[in-house]
Structure 1
Amino acid sequence: MGRDIIANIITSIRNADMNQKGRVQIVTTNITKNIMKILLREGFIENVRKHKESQKNFLVARPRQLFKIL
């Protein structure tokens, strides 16, 4: 069985937003790059940058604060 990459990315961003985390780190693949471009264009994330850590490439995204705690 394959992994559900789209659901994992969206869940990571949603959890980071709800827990007031400043960033989400996702392994870089062609699929994740394209999904992150769409999420950036649609306003669900503020920015995306590339990050390399111990020979692995990651995309680091900053979620837009959708759920503000009063």
Structure 2
Amino acid sequence: MTALPRNVPASTDLHDVSWLRSSHSTGANNCVETARPHTGPWAGLLAVRDSKDPAGPALLFSPESWAGFVTTLP
């Protein structure tokens, strides 16, 4: 069994995705953006990147892991 990728070194490698910024973000680029890749080895995962560095790396989470993380936030 092959392990799932945990990150993408450059989020620009994720083609044909729409990055969404948090509705809680101010205009100062101090938030995270998420996208759901539909192709490649990361299909079905959730990608998360720093809005200040849109060409930088993206972390990859299973939808269940991300939902668990978000529900524990205050």
TM-score (norm 2): 0.29
Greater strand share, structure number: 1
TM-score (norm 1): 0.30
Greater helix share, structure number: 1
